[in-house]
């Protein structure tokens, strides 16, 4: 069995990343088969439970108040509304339900109490619940854990070097601190990044190196391609090449063999053959449903057809797996 390593050097990561792409896919596919069932894909649903009006200035985001993106802001949804959407997601084969809020950080107020209620109720439905709510203290992480939260998403987004060209309202260190709080509370860590933000290959390598040398690898690594949003500073960024996505996915798979590698934002721009290459390269998780947080996602019917053609099946939730074992 390929060992799990947290001591990768930047040189090693660079060599893997620069491997000729077909050889890279082959190596990643081989490691993928040691740790995962290659015909299983985790199907996740995203829901923006609180949309827009965010004080942060993340240059890629439709939800920042700093940019004129024509997004309709929405206050925190009701628990009932969220439960009804989660029910439909489950009926459509989703096993993981991720709730996102356009917050800089979680505050200890009524809204957080509502979030805890949502986590409790969705978790009781048998779905793996994930949240992405911005920065989190250790105490807040513990409360989420007690409410039944399975995973917390908090992305590094890019390399430490490129970070302050993208976001000025918080630091890379802030990000790492929240990740440590999540890890300490025994919540599963979901952490990845975005490509297409004007970063260099060295930046991508550096971000992958940071992820793969965390004291423990994230259990989930989302790989996003920038969805350019009109009105943001990154609106004119060129489309990310599918081969760049494949290279990121394959390198992540080799560096972090056990992680679920999620083909996240940007999938809507890919045809079935391109997505199949991502799955071959080690991606084993997707977001399904017509919408990501604020932008369109692949049509459910198309995804169902893709699963049939590629003979893939949705993965059962971890919770159920543990009960079956
Ligand atoms: N406000 C919280 C935060 O920033 O952590 C949670 C929500 S935030 C929208 C979650 C993640 O979505 C970001 O960290 C970023 O990686 C990703 N994201 C946001 N807008 C995106 C875009 N236009 N294209 C690709 N990924 C995006
Ligand atoms: C992640 O890495 N990507 C998702 C999820 N985690 C929260 C978000 C993608 C957002 C894409 C842009 C939008 O829909 O607003
Ligand atoms: Fe706010 Fe998150 Fe968007 Fe940044 S990525 S502006 S923190 S919602």
pLDDT digits (tens, 9 = 90+) for 114-131: 999 999 999 999 999 999
- What does pTM read for this prediction? 0.96
Indicate the burial class of 293 (C-beta count within 10 angstroms; 0-12, 13-18, 19 or more): buried
130 included as an active-site residue: yes
| Cα 159 to chain centroid, rounded | 16
Mean pLDDT of the chain: 95
Q: 96-101 and 151-153 as β-strands: parallel, antiparallel, unpaired? A: unpaired
pLDDT greater than 70 at residue 35: yes
Rounded Cα–Cα distance for residues 204 and 247 (Å): 10
Going along the chain from its start, the domains and CATH numbers come out as 10-313 (3.20.20.70)
- Shortest-distance atom of ligand 2 to CA 223: 2
Question: What's the rounded Cα separation, in Å, for the pair 144 and 122?
Answer: 13
pLDDT of 319 reads 56
Residue 321 has pLDDT above 60, yes or no: no
Burial class (CB in 10 A: 0-12, 13-18, 19+), 191: buried
pLDDT at position 205 is: 98
Active-site annotation holds for 44: no
Ligand 2 binding residues, C-beta < 6 A: 46, 62, 100, 132, 153, 155, 192, 222, 224, 227, 264-265, 292-295
Q: Which of 54, 131, 191, 278 is catalytic?
A: 54
CA distance 51 to 63: 7
The CA radius of gyration of the chain, in Å to the nearest whole number, is 18
Nearest-5° angle of CA 284, CA 290, CA 294?
Answer: 100
Q: What is the pLDDT of residue 315?
A: 86
Gap between the Cα atoms of 155 and 191, Å rounded:
5
Structure tokens of 293?
């947080």
Percent of the chain scoring above 90 in pLDDT: 94
Interval 26-44 mean pLDDT: 97
The ligand placed nearest to the CA atom of residue 264 is 2
Query: What would the two tokens of residue 221 be?
Result: 């690594």
Q: What is the pLDDT of residue 230?
A: 97
pLDDT digits (tens, 9 = 90+) for 219-232: 999 999 999 999 99
What pLDDT sits at residue 263?
98
Q: Does ligand 1 have an atom closer than 6 angstroms to the CB of 203?
A: no
**Structure confidence at residue 322 as a pLDDT band (50, 70, 90):** low
The pLDDT assigned to 93 comes to 85
Backbone angles phi, psi at 190, to 5 degrees: -115, 115
pLDDT digits (tens, 9 = 90+) for 52-110: 999 999 999 999 999 999 999 999 999 999 999 999 999 988 889 999 999 999 999 99
Would you state the pLDDT for residue 249? Answer: 98
Q: Which residue is listed with tokens 């979680």? A: 106
> How far apart are the CA of 107 and the centre of ligand 3, in A?
15
Given pLDDT bands bounded at 50, 70 and 90, which one contains residue 48?
very high
For ligand 2, the distance from its centroid to the CA atom of residue 293, given in whole angstroms, is 6
Q: Which residues of 166-187 are buried (b: 16+ CB within 10 A; e: fewer)?
A: bbeebebebbbbbbebbbebeb
The torsion defined by the Cα of 136, 6, 198 and 165, in degrees rounded to 10, comes to 50
User: Which of residues 315 and 8 earns the better pLDDT score?
Assistant: 8
* Average pLDDT score over residue span 32-46: 96
Residue 320 has pLDDT above 60, yes or no: no
Is 131 among the residues known to form the active site?
Answer: no
Tell me how many degrees the CA angle 277-282-283 measures, rounded to the nearest 5: 80
Determine the Cα–Cα distance for residues 269 and 244; give it in Å rounded to an integer.
Answer: 14
How far apart are alpha carbons 183 and 234 in whole angstroms? 32
Task: Give the pLDDT confidence of 147-195 residue by residue, as tens digits.
Answer: 999 999 999 999 999 999 999 999 999 999 999 999 999 999 999 999 9
């Amino acid at each position: 069995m390929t060992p799990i390593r947290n001591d990768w050097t930047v040189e090693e990561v660079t060599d893997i990343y620069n491997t000729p792409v077909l050889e890279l896919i082959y190596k990643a596919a081989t490691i993928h088969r040691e740790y995962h069932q290659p015909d299983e894909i985790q199907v996740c649903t995203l829901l923006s439970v609180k949309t827009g009006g965010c004080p942060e200035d993340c240059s890629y985001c439709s939800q920042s108040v700093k940019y004129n993106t024509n997004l309709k802001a929405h206050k925190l949804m009701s628990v009932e509304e969220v439960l009804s959407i989660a029910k439909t997601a489950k009926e459509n084969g989703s096993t993981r339900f991720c709730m996102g809020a356009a917050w800089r950080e979680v505050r200890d107020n009524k809204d957080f109490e509502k979030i805890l209620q949502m986590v409790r109720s969705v978790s009781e439905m048998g779905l793996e619940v994930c949240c992405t709510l911005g920065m989190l203290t250790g105490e807040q992480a513990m409360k989420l854990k007690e409410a039944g939260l399975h995973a917390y998403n908090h992305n590094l987004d890019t390399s430490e070097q490129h970070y302050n060209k993208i976001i000025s309202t918080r630091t890379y260190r802030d990000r790492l601190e929240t990740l440590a709080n999540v890890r300490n509370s025994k919540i599963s860590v979901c952490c990845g990044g975005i490509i297409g933000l004007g970063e260099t290959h060295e930046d991508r390598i550096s971000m992958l190196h940071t992820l793969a040398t965390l004291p423990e690898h994230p259990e989930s690594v989302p790989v996003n391609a920038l969805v350019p949003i009109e009105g943001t500073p990154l609106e004119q960024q060129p489309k990310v090449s599918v081969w760049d996505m494949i290279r990121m996915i394959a390198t992540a798979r080799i560096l972090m063999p056990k992680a679920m590698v999620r083909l996240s934002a940007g999938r809507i721009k890919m045809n079935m053959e391109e997505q199949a290459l991502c799955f071959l390269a080690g991606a084993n998780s997707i977001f399904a449903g017509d919408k990501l947080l604020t932008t369109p996602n692949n049509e459910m019917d198309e995804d169902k057809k893709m699963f049939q053609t590629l003979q893939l099946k949705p993965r059962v939730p971890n919770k159920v797996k543990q009960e079956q074992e």
